[in-house]
Amino acid sequence: MDFKYDVIVVGGGHAGCEAAAAAANLGSKVLLITMDMGRFAQMSCNPAIGGVAKGQIVREIDALGGYTGIITDKSSIQFRMLNRSKGPAMWSPRAQCDRMVFSSEWRIQLEKIPNVFFWQDSVVEFIFQDNIIKGVRTSNNVEFLSEAVVLTTGTFLNGLMHIGSVTSEGGRVSEPASKGLSEQLLSRGFTVGRMKTGTPVRIDERSINFDKLDEQKGDGHDYRFSYLPSPDNGLRKRSCFITYTNPEVHKVLETGLDESPMYNGTIQSIGPRYCPSIETKIVTFSERERHQLFLEPEGETTIEYYLNGFSSSLPLKTQIDALKLVPGLEEVKVFRPGYAIEYDFFEPTQLKHTLETKKISNLFFAGQINGTTGYEEAAAQGLIAGINAHQKINNKTDFTLSRDEAYIGVLIDDLVTKGVDEPYRMFTSRAEFRILLRQDDADSRLSPKSFAIGLASQKRIDHLNEKIDKRNQIIEFLKEFSVKPALINSWLEYMGTAPLKQGVKLIDIISRPQINIYDLLDGIKPFAEFIEKLNMARKDEILESTEIILKYSGYINRERLLADKFKRLENLNIVNKFDYKSIKSLSTEARQKLDSIQPETIGQASRISGVSPSDINVLLVLMGR
C-alpha cells in the first residue's frame, strides 16, 4: 500500500473521474478518493448526457481523449440530435442513459488504467507547506501525500437537503456531506459561497397511464458521441414521454409555498435560473397555464422514471397531490420525492485558466465547486484540471483552450474572468464563434492539440486523418464531376429546385439549399458508386462533415477572420505588468476588478464585468508606452 502519489483526486463524480483518467493516462500516479466506489460518475439528477451546448462539450471531451462520450455510448438507451431544423452550429447530440450501466462502465474504465489507484473514504483536511498543497487527511485519519490535488466535491461540501420543512445533511440522498474543507480554505483567504440545486421525484412506471402521454422516440440515425468507432451497446432502446401541468396542478403547488424552503426564507442561496423548480416556475411565469414535463426512463429494464421539469423542495404530500392532477399520473406512486440541496462553492475568479487556484500552488478545483451545474460542464473541468495537474508537477506547458477553439474554453474563461452569481450552465449563445465550435468537427479542432501532449491516442489521430482524407476525396470528386442539363433537369425539378441551362460541376448542385448530400446519393448514380468504392466505416459522419464544410464555408471563413482579430488582444500578455490600484485613469470599479482577478491578457481583461472599453484603451496606451 502506497501513501504517496503524484496527483490526488478528491471526489468520484464526473469531474473526478475525468481528472483521474487524464492525469493517469499522461503518466502520473493518481489516487482517486471517493466516499462510495459503487457510484462513480453518479447521475444524481436526470439520466442523460448532452443537450444544447452540453452535447458539443461531450464531443470535445472525447476529442481530447476523455471518456464521457465513450461511456455514454456504452450506456445509451436513446439518442437524439437536437436542433436539426437549424444550422449545424446549433446541432446538439443528447443521449438517454441507463444510469447504473453508466456508473459501472466508468468503474470498469478507471480500473483498466494502470496508474489509477483507489481509496474509499472522506477527505476532511488538506496538508499544506506554506502556500503549496502537499496532500490530504481522511476521516479515518489516513494521510496521503502528493505533488498536486484536484478537488471535485460536487454538492457535498457542507451539503444540506430540503424536503418541505424537513432538512438533513448530505451531498445526495443517503450519502453524507463533506465537512471541514470549506472552513480550512476560508481560513486561507478563499471566498466561499452557497448555491442551491434540486431534483424531481422518481416515479414507479407501473403507476403511469402511458395512453395519456405523448411518446418521444429516439432518432433512427445511428449517432454516437465518441469519434472512435464502436459496436452497438446491445441495450434495448426506450422512449421518453411528454405530459403537462395545468391550472389545477398549480393551485395545489401554491398551497405549499409557505412550507417551501425557497419561499419561507430557509434557503438563502442562489438557485439555477435555467433549470428552475416547479414552484419557481408557477410564481415567475404565473401567466402560463401549463408547463411541459418529460418522463425519462432511468435504465434499460428498470421501472423507475425521472420526471424532468418537476424539480421541487415542496413537502412530500404537496408534491404527490399535485402530481395526481397531471394527465397520466392520476394513480402516481413515487420512489422518493424531489428535494433541494444547498452546498458550498468557491468563486471561480480565484482560479487560473488551468483551474489551479491562485492562492495555493498545485491545488486545482473542478466541477460544481466552481459554481457550475451539469455533468458535462463538470467532466470538462475535470479533464482540464487533471491534464494541468500533471503538466504542472512535471514542469510542462499549461494546457488551455481559447474561446474560438472549444466550448470548454468558453466555459472556463467565463468562470475565471466573469465569475458566477448563479449556477453556471453552458449555452450556445455564450460562444462568440459558434460556427467554429460545431459538434461535428471537435476532433479536427482538439485531437491534434491533445495528441501533442500525449493524451489523445495514435488510434484517435489515425481515425481523424482517415476522416479528413475521405472527406477531401469526396470534395475533389464534387469539384471535378460535371453534370449536363439533359441528364439531371427532370430530377432537379422533382427536388423542387431550378433546372440547369448549361452543364455545371456537381459541387454547384450541392450548394443549393434544396439539395443535400444524401439526395445526391439517391439521384446521381456516379456519385453513389464513388462513395461505395471509398468503403467508409463511418460513412454518415464523413458525409455530414463534408456537406457542412461545403454549404457553410463562407460563414466558417468569415468567423475565422473575426476570431483571428480577437486573438490579437488575447496575445497581449499583461501578467504582473500593472499595479491597477495606482492607475487613476481607470474607473474605480475597473481598478477593483482588475486587481482582484489579475487577468492574463488584454482580451481577458476586456471580458471582466465592470471593465469598460475606455478602461481597455487606457491599458493599451500604457502597453504602448
3-class secondary-structure state, position 461: helix
Helices then strands, each counted (H, E), the chain: 21, 22
- Is 538 marked as binding a ligand? no
- Is 11 marked as binding a ligand? yes
Kind plus residue range of the DSSP H or E element containing 509? helix 506-510
Instruction: Classify burial at 320, counting beta carbons within 10 Å of its beta carbon; exposed 0-12, middle 13-18, buried 19 or more.
Output: middle
Nearest C-alpha neighbor of 624 from the set 588, 584, 572, 576? 572
- Note the Cα 398 to chain centre separation in Å: 21
Q: Who's near 184: CB < 8 A, 6+ residues apart? A: 125, 126
- Is 412 marked as binding a ligand? no
- Is 276 marked as binding a ligand? yes
Cell of 588: 474605480
- Is 399 marked as binding a ligand? no
- Is 610 marked as binding a ligand? no
CB–CB of 502/485 below 8 Å?
Answer: yes
- Is 334 marked as binding a ligand? no
Q: Who's near 201: CB < 8 A, 6+ residues apart? A: 307, 310, 312, 319, 323, 334, 335, 336, 337, 338
- Is 272 marked as binding a ligand? yes
Q: What is the C-alpha to C-alpha distance for residues 388 and 317, in angstroms, rounded to an integer?
A: 48
User: Helix crossing, 442-453 with 458-480: angle to 10°?
Assistant: 140
- Is 16 marked as binding a ligand? yes
Q: What is the C-alpha to C-alpha distance for residues 433 and 622, in angstroms, rounded to an integer?
A: 29
- Is 279 marked as binding a ligand? yes
CB–CB of 214/241 below 8 Å?
Answer: yes
- Is 199 marked as binding a ligand? no
- Is 526 marked as binding a ligand? no
Residue showing cell 442561496: 269
- Is 12 marked as binding a ligand? yes
- Is 70 marked as binding a ligand? no
Cell of 129: 507547506
- Amino acid present at 76: S
- Is 274 marked as binding a ligand? yes
- Is 481 marked as binding a ligand? no
- Is 448 marked as binding a ligand? no
β-partners of residue 94 are: 50, 80
- Is 283 marked as binding a ligand? yes
Say which DSSP state 118 is in.
E
- Is 273 marked as binding a ligand? yes
- Is 390 marked as binding a ligand? no
Please state the residue numbers annotated as binding site: 11-16, 123, 178, 271-285, 368
Please state the residue numbers annotated as binding site for NAD(+): 271-285
Please state the residue numbers annotated as binding site for FAD: 11-16, 123, 178, 368
